[in-house]
Structure 1
């Protein structure tokens, strides 16, 4: 028997049989059982890891308590030694002062010989602006200059 295809007319979708649905449900059931087995395995591993972490945490807490006790003991010892050190310093201070006074280096006050011409004190520096200095006379003060007698040293007015 031949069937003619009529354009625009589609065939109704095939009705699913109950046997096909049973096969699908069995496959889904098998997949869900595998997933459940995997989840149980992961849960067991997580519980085992949690137990190991609890043991590690208890060990770490014991170590921390011991370290805290040791720190407190060391702090008390440090404070006691600091007080003892300060007491010894106070007892030793007079001896150190006496030794420093006995070994002191004393130097008489220095007196500088200024008789040489190059050691003469200099005149105060004139800080007026340049125009005011030129208006008053020569730039170089003749009174303090060693070359005052030299006429080439005096600028022309």
Structure 2
């Protein structure tokens, strides 16, 4: 009787140990899978060779997309045109948005037909604020100048004491 009890005790302990180890392995495997899934969820999805989400005709100018890529802006290749304004002085302004609706300001001076050259006659600003219907405000991080655009008017408030520039908007899309 004593031998049988000892034998059954050993069998029970061994079975319990084996089952416990199996459960620990399964738990560890499940935790590892959850961590991998969380890492995949946190990584931006690569579009690979798939077509962009935004139709090419709805994209902002290629120079804007190139500058956005240079600045490391997420979804730089998917910045879509929200509005396009043309002033009486020939300045062209685009309000662009990424897939998350973050707004960008792109301006070009020297007329509609002039090439857009960032840092020469082109200025790309991020973190644009919508201030009303078809109206936006952007601030230059380098000099603090403020740019206001609406269907009727384009205004620049200079921080260096220079008089504000006010142009009439003659075309709006």
Structure 1 length as normaliser, TM-score? Answer: 0.34
Structure with the largest fraction of strand: 2
